Structure 1
Amino acid sequence: MSLPDLPLSTPSLLFPAISLLMLAFTNRFLGLAAVVRGLHANWQATREPMLLAQIQSLRRRIQIIKHMQTLGVLSLMFCVASMTLLFFGRQAGGQATFGVSLVLMLASLTLTLVEIQMSGTALDLQLRDVKCREQ
């Protein structure tokens, strides 16, 4: 079974999506880095165990974001390779590398979902002792 030809324009459709995702990943990373710096300064002053636990949780989230970024960059690289192969008339190679690019993007998005869930859980724990009052 042969696949229909993949036009050169199809892999190029991922460029804006990948670029926006990389920007979002970088913003998440920078936001967490600022929080870690603040918590680390507080921890050095107080040595409070709760702060250390929060820092460790943030460290895990930062690792996940680094993996998200790595997979996103690899997806973009495979997308470029796909376009190059398609440009030179190598349909089979272009299709294969585009498929790999899509799988890498899916893996990156999966890690994004994991990190978002961790973020929500961390916020729930932070707000656990806040009592909501009815107005």
Structure 2
Amino acid sequence: MTLTTPALLFPAISLLLLAYTNRFLVLAQLIRQLNAREGEHIRPFVVQQIDNLKKRIRLIRTMQVWGVVSFLLCTLAMFALFIQVNLVGTIFFGISLVALIISLLTSLYEIHISCDAIAIELESIGQKK
């Protein structure tokens, strides 16, 4: 394995972390709007949304942690390959890939949860009829 192999992951992981941060910022804005809109009297379907939002925030934090771990291990792999400790570099790169897979699987689950949030919204709209 050469130094350029782990370097190929750098742009992908960076873009992934940016996407995760954007998801977090959107959720934070949604929570602030929900808080301002609801005030003291929270409707039952909003309680469901709050639980959903809490779960999604935790998942996004987990996605970010594993993404950063992957990025760090990828960097360590490049360093090990740079100083020509190839076995250590290969191991770090392999673990980096595992961390990236965990991050992506967590992201997939968060997307599933976000679809549940949309279903809750649709249900509340249906109740208004």
TM-score (norm 1): 0.88
The answer for unaligned runs of 5 or more in structure 2 is none
State the match for 1:88 in structure 2.
83
Q: When you count helix as a share of all residues, which structure comes out higher?
A: 2
State the match for 1:32 in structure 2.
27
Q: In the TM superposition, what whole-angstrom CA distance separates every residue of 1:94-133 from its partner, at most 9, and x where no partner exists? A: 00000000000000000000000111121122113556xx
- Residue from 52, 66, 69 that aligns with 1:71: 66
* Greater gyration radius: 1
The answer for unaligned runs of 5 or more in structure 1 is 1-5
Which range moved further: 52-61 or 122-131?
Answer: 122-131
Q: Which has the higher contact order (CA 8 A, sep 6+)?
A: 2
Quote the sequence identity (%): 43
Contact 1:40 1:55 in 2 (8 A): no
Query: Following TM superposition, by how much is the alpha carbon of 1:40 offset from its aligned partner in structure 2, in angstroms?
Result: 1.9
RMSD between aligned residues: 1.3
* Partner SS for 2:78: helix
List, as ranges, runs of 4+ consecutive aligned residues in structure 1 with deviation greater than 6 Å.
Answer: none
State the match for 1:20 in structure 2.
15
Contact 1:11 1:82 in 2 (8 A): yes
* Partner SS for 1:120: helix
TM-score (norm 2): 0.92
